[in-house]
């Protein structure tokens, strides 16, 4: 099942754009190969609001958030995960607003800097867990632990609008990077199934446009991961036994700037296959073979 990507997203930088009765988005001017058009910071609620993924530490973005939040009471600063393009503005917003920061935990100590880099400075004031609920007078957000992209990744479900703020777990413009050791392909697939079972009406990824009617995209996401796993098995069966060789074959049509991330994805699949007992690795040659 092919994924139909939507790369038509266009939005003004630094302006609060109304997406629904309870949701506005301010887009940071940090486009790139991993951020697409930039980080979308969400303001959720009416007068008492939660801010989801405050975004990169850019003065112009922080000032734009301050303008958008003027006259409102920020009650919660929520972080989906600790990559710098999501969490590094949290401290400045906390200082300005007085609101506490919330997240699943600090960045995994052994994770490599992938995508826009690890934010090792972010430590939430309040540590969340799966199933926690965050509420104000206007809305309730349910916390959903969705490891895979990163072990501390959370999604937030807005009950009143059957909407899910998906962070980097699911995006409409690209697949998500799963980079070991902080990322785990087995966890990612389980988290996909967890979101699929919920049946939200719309997903709001941190990068890219809202995803209306997300069920087909989620099904395609899952099928893609399973198909990629099958392709890696074929490579191994045909003697392509190294990660660079597999990337060259399977990602020949992908921007070469993304090949390092593709290699991490392939590694994640191989680790999963090892855990499943289907693949072994030679530690000296770094070659993989089917069992």
Q: How do residues 249-287 score in pLDDT, each as one tens digit? A: 999 988 888 898 899 999 999 999 999 999 999 988 889
In the predicted structure, residue 15 carries a pLDDT above the cut 90: yes
Q: Which CATH class is domain 224-290?
A: mainly alpha
Q: Lowest-confidence range among 12-21, 91-100, 103-112, 207-216?
A: 103-112
Domain span(s) for CATH 3.60.15.10 in the chain: 16-212
pLDDT tens, position by position, 36-61: 999 999 999 998 999 999 999 999 99
Question: What average pLDDT does this structure show over 95-117?
Answer: 82
Confidence of residue 192 (pLDDT cuts 50, 70, 90): very high
Query: Does residue 78 contact residue 52 with C-beta atoms inside 8 Å?
Result: yes
Output the six-digit token pair for 55: 């975004």
Q: What is the mean pLDDT of residues 197-215?
A: 97
Whether the per-residue pLDDT at 178 is higher than 80: the answer is: yes
What pLDDT is recorded for position 113?
57
Delimit the CATH 1.10.10.10 region(s) of the chain. 224-290
Report the predicted TM-score, pTM, of the whole model to 2 decimal places. Answer: 0.93
Q: β-pairing, 73-78 with 133-135? A: unpaired
- Which run of H or of E encompasses 247? helix 243-250
Query: Is residue 16 a contact partner of residue 28, using CB atoms and an 8 Å limit?
Result: no
The highest-level CATH class for domain 16-212 is alpha beta
């Amino acid at each position: 099942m092919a994924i139909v990507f939507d790369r038509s997203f266009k939005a003004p930088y630094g302006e609060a754009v109304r997406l629904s009765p309870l949701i506005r988005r301010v887009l940071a001017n940090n486009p790139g190969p991993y951020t697409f058009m930039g980080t979308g910071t969400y303001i959720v609620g009416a007068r008492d609001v939660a801010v989801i993924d405050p975004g990169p530490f850019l003065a112009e973005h922080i000032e734009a958030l301050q303008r958008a939040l003027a006259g409102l009471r920020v009650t919660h600063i929520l972080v989906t995960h600790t990559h710098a393009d999501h969490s590094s503005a949290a401290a400045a917003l906390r200082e300005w607003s007085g609101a506490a920061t919330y997240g699943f935990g600090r960045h995994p100590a052994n994770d490599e800097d992938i995508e826009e880099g690890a934010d090792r400075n972010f430590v939430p004031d309040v540590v969340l867990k799966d199933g926690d609920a965050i509420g104000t007078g206007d809305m309730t957000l349910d916390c959903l632990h969705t490891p895979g992209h990163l072990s501390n990744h959370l999604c937030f479900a807005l009950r009143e609008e059957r909407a899910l703020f998906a962070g980097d777990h699911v995006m409409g413009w690209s697949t998500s990077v799963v980079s070991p050791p902080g990322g785990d392909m087995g966890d990612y697939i389980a988290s996909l199934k967890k979101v699929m079972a919920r049946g939200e009406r719309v997903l709001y990824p941190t990068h890219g446009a809202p995803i209306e009617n997300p069920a087909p995209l989620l099904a395609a996401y899952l099928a893609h991961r399973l198909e990629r796993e099958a392709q890696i098995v074929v490579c191994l069966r045909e003697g392509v036994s190294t990660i660079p060789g597999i990337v060259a074959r399977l990602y020949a049509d992908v921007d070469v700037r993304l090949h390092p991330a593709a290699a991490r994805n392939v590694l994640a699949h191989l680790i999963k296959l090892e855990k499943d007992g289907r693949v072994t690795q030679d530690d000296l040659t770094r070659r993989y073979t089917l069992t």
